[in-house]
């Protein structure tokens, strides 16, 4: 996997949680097996994913739950093809914050462990997404959007490096990580 384009900001990949990070959990329609059939996306999520893909960042879904959920909803919104890797708890046999959820995605993308600090994890749960990312040295980004989960870190391991309240705010975080003068260079190149 060539990480050249995304590496302009130092990032080699961006990982996303799913429920209340990309999809609005309150809109999910599930079948008898609790697999989501359809759901609305959080405003700005589709645009964010398309822009990150356009910029060349490899995207991985790192999520707990049923694999069919992600196939169904991402296909519904024509976004499934934007993801290079799917690290799904039911398939892997563990849930976040277990390291395997994150290391599997890194391994599938060919990212060595010593490059973990160049991988960004975006999620809505302090106790799963942020904690898991922080334990492995990934860049943790908390999407503080949903009222469904705790907004108070239980300890320092659940404190995110970055906090956003809407998906498209992630672009500002990424641009800030590039440093001054990098955005114009990327846009012209």
pLDDT at 178: 83
pLDDT at 1: 37
pLDDT at 180: 62
pLDDT at 121: 98
Per-residue CA distances from 29 to 18, 37, 106 (Å): 15, 6, 31
Rounded distance between C-alpha atoms, residue 76 and residue 120, angstroms:
25
Find the largest Cα–Cα distance for the chain.
Answer: 52
> What is the chain's pLDDT, residue by residue, as a tens digit (189 residues)?
333 334 444 999 999 999 999 999 999 999 999 999 999 999 999 999 999 999 999 999 999 999 899 999 999 999 999 999 999 999 999 999 999 999 999 999 999 999 999 999 999 999 999 999 999 999 999 999 988 889 999 999 999 999 999 999 999 999 999 876 544 334 333
Residue identified by tokens 């391991």 is 157
Rounded distance between C-alpha atoms, residue 49 and residue 59, angstroms:
8
pLDDT at 147: 87
CATH 3.40.50.1000 fits 6-188, yes or no: yes
Domain boundaries, the chain: 6-188
pLDDT at 48: 98
Write down the pTM of the prediction: 0.90
The CB density around residue 101, as the number of other CB atoms within 10 Å, is 25
Per-residue CA distances from 38 to 3, 24, 69, 71 (Å): 32, 10, 8, 10
């Amino acid at each position: 996997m060539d990480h050249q384009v995304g590496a302009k900001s130092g990032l080699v990949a961006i990982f996303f949680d799913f429920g209340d990070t990309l999809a609005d959990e309150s809109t999910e329609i599930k079948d008898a097996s609790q697999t989501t059939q359809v759901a609305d996306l959080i405003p700005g999520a589709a645009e964010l994913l398309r822009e990150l893909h356009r910029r060349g960042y490899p995207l991985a879904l790192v999520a707990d739950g049923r694999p069919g959920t992600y196939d169904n909803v991402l296909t519904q919104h024509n976004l499934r093809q934007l993801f290079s890797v799917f690290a799904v708890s039911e398939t892997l046999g563990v849930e976040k914050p277990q390291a395997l959820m994150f290391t599997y995605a890194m391994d599938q993308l060919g990212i060595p462990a010593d490059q973990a600090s160049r991988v960004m994890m975006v999620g809505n749960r302090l106790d799963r997404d942020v904690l898991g990312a922080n334990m492995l040295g990934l860049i943790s980004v908390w999407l503080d959007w949903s009222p469904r989960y705790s907004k108070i870190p239980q300890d320092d391991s659940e404190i995110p490096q970055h906090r956003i309240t809407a998906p498209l705010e992630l672009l500002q975080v990424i641009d800030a990580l590039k440093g001054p003068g990098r955005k114009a260079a990327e846009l012209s190149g």
